[in-house]
Amino acid sequence: MRQRHDIEVGEGGAARRIAVLERPGREPPVVWFGGFRSEMAGTKADALDAWAAESGQAYVRFDYSGHGVSGGVFRDGTITRWLEDGLAVLERFAPARPILVGSSMGGWLALLAARALRAAGPSRAPAALVLLAPAADFTERLMWDGFPSEVRDRIMAEGVYERPSLYSDEPYPITRALIEDGRQHLLLDGPVETGCPVHIIQGVQDPDVPWEHAMRLVERLPGDAVQLTLVRDGDHRLSRPEDLDRLVHVVASAVRNAAPDDPAGQLRLTV
């Protein structure tokens, strides 16, 4: 049965309450990392929960600070802070080698979490990663690099830019702290070693994370078994019924193959 938990992360003025939904079940635990300003009650996370309930799989999802029903203020969020949230959830609710499923920003955070888990030792390293439209380095490559000079100047001078959103009537606050902190976590300038199989699902019609960005990540995964699925008519959300079926199939396959037979470095491309 699904259980709601609230945990405290951070200390002093940075302390915040993180809301977690845990569905106990068999290992390896599947852990959902949501996207920028998304919630753990979203369509894709719900689809995985329904699958976990039916199959008896352990499944964990949570809201980053400033997101959904967690505490904190969204404008205070940075990659460092949201990664800290995710690592705290993993430490408490996924002590076995987890399967990390990351969507958009959650793909970047899942990659960073995988690096931290590997550093903690073989018993903590992830069993697999499933990444949907992974927005690795998005603060720099998909935001800052594309912002006109007047937007950059506003961020530096005023500390925030209210960016219009395709998915909400409210703009997204892009803060100077978010941009500058993101530079501490950039991955795509060198090899990205996960030590486990990686399956990337990417929509070709994605206006937010272009499919070429996913290809750049693939090029940085030289030591891992990588499978890339390009969805020709897929957008950024990948939340249509056929997209959800694909996601569940890929995650279920990752669970079955937690000890993969594929040789490291093998790349598969599905269109």
Give the tens place of pLDDT for each residue, 185-236: 999 999 999 999 999 999 999 999 999 999 999 999 977 699 999 999 999 9
Does residue 34 lie within any of the structural domains?
Answer: yes
What per-residue confidence (pLDDT) applies to 155?
A: 97
Side-chain-facing half-sphere of 265: CA atoms under 13 Å: 2
Does residue 115 lie within any of the structural domains?
Answer: yes
Query: Is the pLDDT assigned to residue 267 strictly greater than 60?
Result: no
From the candidates 185, 224, 236, 243, which is the catalytic residue? 236
From the candidates 137, 206, 208, 224, which is the catalytic residue? 206
How many domains does one find in the chain?
1
199 counts as catalytic: no
Order of all β-strands in the sheet with 99-103:
3-9, 16-23, 57-62, 26-33, 99-103, 128-132, 198-203, 226-231, 267-270
Query: pLDDT: is 263 or 26 the higher one?
Result: 26
Does residue 183 lie within any of the structural domains?
Answer: no
Does residue 178 lie within any of the structural domains?
Answer: no
CATH number of the domain where residue 214 is located: 3.40.50.1820
- CA-CA distance, 209 to 15, in Å (whole number)? 31
Average pLDDT over residues 249-253: 98
From the candidates 38, 65, 103, 104, which is the catalytic residue? 104
104 counts as catalytic: yes
Average pLDDT over residues 246-253: 98
Does residue 89 lie within any of the structural domains?
Answer: yes
- pTM (predicted TM-score): 0.94
Percent of the chain past pLDDT 90, that is, above it, reads 87
Does residue 164 lie within any of the structural domains?
Answer: no
Does residue 263 lie within any of the structural domains?
Answer: yes
- Residues pairing with 228 in the sheet: 200, 269
Query: Is the pLDDT assigned to residue 239 strictly greater than 60?
Result: yes
- Interacting residues of 220 by C-beta distance below 8 A, sequence separation 6+: 187, 188, 190, 191, 192
236 counts as catalytic: yes
Query: Is the pLDDT assigned to residue 259 strictly greater than 60?
Result: no
Domain containing 118: what range?
3-139+189-270
Percent of the chain past pLDDT 70, that is, above it, reads 95
Does residue 224 lie within any of the structural domains?
Answer: yes
